[in-house]
């Protein structure tokens, strides 16, 4: 007897399927991947339903509307005709209208009458700007930004959370780094009289080079290079004055598309506020779970450096914060060009400039040449071929210094620009050489540990040790012409001393040098590496 086939169960059916690829590696995929299982961890997915702040997106239409808004509401062009003020209509030229204007040389309304005054604009081109940031990969965006919402519905307006030990919830929206683009618009202004057009062009030219758009939405940098004037007078028709100009706009685009949503694993997430077991809520503070990099500071400049260098140690964060706030409180922060605290223990952490923590040569980010030793005490050269390039060329009135933790004589320059601007903190003859001109000046300090600083006022040079004047001022200086280097490569053999701090700044007074040493010494003491 033939039996009727039994339907397969879901497990039996899925077991026969070919195991699909997970594509780009993602830490939140189910591992190992099995047919029928979700690719993403559902526990980390948060709904955007009823959310005031949706996923961020900026389109080309938003940029067009920004220009239209600025023309209408900020420039707000108008003309005075027969003692009447007339608002100039702003029209985005559709293909039919724009073609007619290009052929006839003027704009007609639906009844065929020449329309003046009127301002038309039309988008000509869109070109990607490859020189700015990028999301790296459109299929799996690794370069994203986190935007914190100012308000969360789960936070009550009371102090109950303080009594229970609960941490306020913070909502973050994840957005990809935008695609930066350059857009070009053709703009044409028609009026009856030259005086009318001149007043409008003056207003537009005044706004050129600024950010256009609605301040409550998006604003974009614009520029206008030139204006072309043309006066037309045809038989049996009114005279028209025509101004033509090109508007160049630097914009950015975050598409509202499926591939963008796929590229970012999660669009929203919360911080941890409390952990619940059954019906009990512990009062323990779970702040250690809030973020991968908790910040122990509110100073924005200290925060920027800590995030760039990935400093997670709270003592190091405190030392950096105290240094930055101390420099600002004593009006020294504005004089700093480059500050290298050598904190973090790695080459990656040691390269950053505290004053401008961007990964750029023009931000004076260090590049290490040769094999340095990087540890909690700072950087140490090998005495053969090591030096750190700062990319900073000091002005004719400068100050730069180095904090050494090694006491020994050496034949190489510890920090300097060229053969006329440098410091031997302890040469083979036992003397310290401060050089700001053609001839070096010596000081008998006797050790090579501490803070050594050379100061140049463009007319005279001075040498400082641990905040005190030990040499000068001596007349005769020579302006630097090459970038500042740390640890060698200027004169003599690169050193193998251990450096815990270095800086470059505008020239400072004797009192400011004393304060600078006190701040650096306090910084080193906090880290336990003072000498």
Quick one: pLDDT at residue 21?
A: 44
229 and 309 in a single domain? The answer is no
Quick one: pLDDT at residue 30?
A: 41
The answer to whether position 7 is within a domain reads no
CATH of the domain at 518: 2.60.120
The answer to whether position 228 is within a domain reads yes
> What is the C-alpha to C-alpha distance for residues 41 and 390, in angstroms, rounded to an integer?
45
316 and 189 in a single domain? The answer is no
395 and 491 in a single domain? The answer is yes
315 and 407 in a single domain? The answer is yes
474 vs 104, residue with greater confidence: 474
507 vs 153, residue with greater confidence: 507
> What is the C-alpha to C-alpha distance for residues 415 and 424, in angstroms, rounded to an integer?
8
| 92, 72 Cβ separation under 8 angstroms | no
Q: Span 2-17, mean pLDDT?
A: 64
Distance of CA 140 to the CA centre of its chain: 22
Quick one: pLDDT at residue 396?
A: 83
Q: In sequence order, what E strands does 76-210 have?
A: 78-81, 84-87, 90-92, 118-128, 144-148, 171-176, 179-191
Which of 227, 249, 271 is the last residue in one of the domains? 249
> What is the C-alpha to C-alpha distance for residues 129 and 177, in angstroms, rounded to an integer?
13
The answer to whether position 73 is within a domain reads yes
Residue 176, helix vs strand vs coil: strand
405 and 466 in a single domain? The answer is yes
The answer to whether position 30 is within a domain reads no
Residue labelled with tokens 């180095």: 402
The answer to whether position 88 is within a domain reads yes
Q: Please determine, for residue 288, whether its predicted confidence score (pLDDT) is greater than 60.
A: no
CATH of the domain at 232: 3.30.2000.40
Q: Please determine, for residue 148, whether its predicted confidence score (pLDDT) is greater than 90.
A: no
Quick one: pLDDT at residue 355?
A: 94
447 and 516 in a single domain? The answer is yes
| 503, 519 Cβ separation under 8 angstroms | no
Which of 189, 224, 249 is the last residue in one of the domains? 249
Q: Percent of the chain at pLDDT above 70?
A: 67
Long-range Cβ contacts of 286-292 (<8 Å, 24+ apart): 286/167, 287/167, 290/167
Quick one: pLDDT at residue 449?
A: 92
Q: Span 53-72, mean pLDDT?
A: 84
186 and 319 in a single domain? The answer is no
19 vs 102, residue with greater confidence: 102
Q: Which domain holds residue 325?
A: 300-527
CA atoms within 13 A on the CB side of 438: 2
pTM for the whole thing? 0.48
What are 45's two structure tokens?
């997915």
228 and 320 in a single domain? The answer is no
298 vs 48, residue with greater confidence: 298
The answer to whether position 432 is within a domain reads yes
89 and 218 in a single domain? The answer is yes
The answer to whether position 292 is within a domain reads no
500 vs 490, residue with greater confidence: 500
Q: Which residues of 266-278 are buried (b: 16+ CB within 10 A; e: fewer)?
A: ebbeebebbeeee
Structurally, the chain folds into a number of domains equal to 2
Quick one: pLDDT at residue 458?
A: 77
> What is the C-alpha to C-alpha distance for residues 419 and 434, in angstroms, rounded to an integer?
11
What are 443's two structure tokens?
């000081």
Which of 249, 274, 309 is the last residue in one of the domains? 249
Q: Please determine, for residue 476, whether its predicted confidence score (pLDDT) is greater than 80.
A: no
What are 419's two structure tokens?
């053969």
Average pLDDT, the chain: 78
Largest CA distance in the chain: 116
Residue 446: left if φ>0, alpha if ψ -120 to 50, beta else—which one?
A: left
Q: Percent of the chain at pLDDT above 90?
A: 32
pLDDT digits (tens, 9 = 90+) for 418-448: 877 888 888 888 888 888 876 567 788 888 8
∠ at Cα 486 (480, 490), nearest 5°? 55
pLDDT digits (tens, 9 = 90+) for 88-116: 888 887 766 666 666 665 666 666 666 77
495 and 364 in a single domain? The answer is yes
| 471, 510 Cβ separation under 8 angstroms | no
305 and 186 in a single domain? The answer is no
Quick one: pLDDT at residue 237?
A: 60
Q: Of 309, 485, 488, which is closest to residue 381 (Cα–Cα)?
A: 488
127 vs 140, residue with greater confidence: 127
| Ramachandran angles phi, psi of 76, nearest 5° | 45, 65
Lowest-confidence region among 22-36, 111-125, 137-151, 446-460: 22-36
The answer to whether position 282 is within a domain reads no
205 and 327 in a single domain? The answer is no
């Amino acid at each position: 007897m033939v039996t009727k086939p039994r339907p397969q169960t879901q497990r039996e059916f899925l077991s026969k399927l070919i195991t699909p690829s997970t594509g780009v590696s993602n830490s939140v995929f189910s591992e190992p991947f099995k047919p029928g299982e979700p690719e993403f961890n559902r526990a980390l997915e948060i709904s955007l339903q009823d959310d005031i702040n949706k996923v961020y997106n900026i389109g080309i239409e938003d940029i067009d509307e920004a220009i239209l808004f600025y023309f209408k509401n900020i420039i707000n062009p108008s003309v005075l005709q027969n003692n009447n003020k007339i608002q100039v209509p702003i029209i985005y030229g559709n293909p039919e209208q724009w073609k007619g204007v290009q052929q006839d040389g003027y704009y007609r309304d639906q009844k065929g009458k020449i329309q003046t005054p009127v301002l038309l604009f039309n988008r000509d081109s869109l070109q990607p700007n490859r020189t700015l940031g990028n999301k790296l990969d459109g299929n799996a965006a690794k370069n994203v930004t986190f935007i914190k919402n100012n308000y969360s519905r789960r936070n009550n307006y009371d102090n109950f959370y303080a009594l229970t030990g609960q941490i306020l919830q913070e909502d973050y929206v994840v957005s990809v780094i935008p695609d930066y683009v350059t857009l070009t618009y053709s703009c044409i202004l028609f009026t009856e009289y030259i005086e009318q057009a001149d007043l409008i062009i003056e207003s537009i030219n005044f706004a050129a080079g600024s950010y256009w758009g609605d301040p409550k939405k998006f604003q974009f940098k614009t520029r206008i290079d030139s204006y072309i004037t043309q006066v037309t007078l045809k038989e049996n028709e009114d005279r028209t004055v025509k101004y033509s100009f090109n508007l160049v706009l630097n914009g950015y685009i975050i598409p509202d598309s499926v591939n963008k949503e796929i590229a970012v694993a999660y669009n929203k997430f919360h911080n941890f506020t409390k952990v619940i077991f059954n019906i009990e809520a512990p009062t323990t503070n779970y702040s250690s779970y809030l973020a991968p990099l908790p910040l122990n500071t509110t100073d924005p400049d200290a925060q920027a450096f800590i995030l760039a260098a990935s400093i997670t140690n709270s003592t190091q964060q405190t030392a950096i914060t105290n240094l930055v706030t101390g420099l600002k409180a004593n009006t020294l922060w504005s004089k700093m060009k480059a500050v290298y605290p050598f904190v973090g223990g790695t080459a990656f952490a040691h390269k950053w400039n505290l004053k401008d923590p961007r990964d750029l040569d023009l931000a004076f980010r260090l590049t290490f040449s040769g094999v340095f030793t990087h540890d909690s005490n700072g950087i140490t050269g090998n005495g053969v071929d090591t030096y750190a390039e700062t990319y900073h060329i000091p002005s004719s009135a400068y100050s730069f210094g180095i904090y050494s933790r090694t006491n020994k004589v050496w034949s190489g320059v510890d920090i300097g620009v060229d053969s006329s601007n440098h410091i031997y903190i302890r040469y083979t003859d036992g003397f310290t050489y401060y050089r700001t001109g053609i001839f070096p000046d010596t000081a008998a300090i006797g050790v090579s540990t501490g803070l050594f600083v050379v100061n140049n006022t463009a007319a005279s040079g001075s040498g400082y040790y641990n905040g005190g004047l030990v040499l000068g001022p001596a007349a005769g200086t020579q302006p630097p012409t090459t970038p500042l280097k740390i640890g060698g490569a200027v004169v003599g053999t690169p050193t193998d001393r251990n450096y815990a701090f270095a800086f470059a700044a505008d020239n400072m007074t004797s009192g400011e040098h004393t304060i600078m040493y006190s701040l650096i010494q306090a910084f080193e003491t906090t880290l336990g590496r003072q000498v």
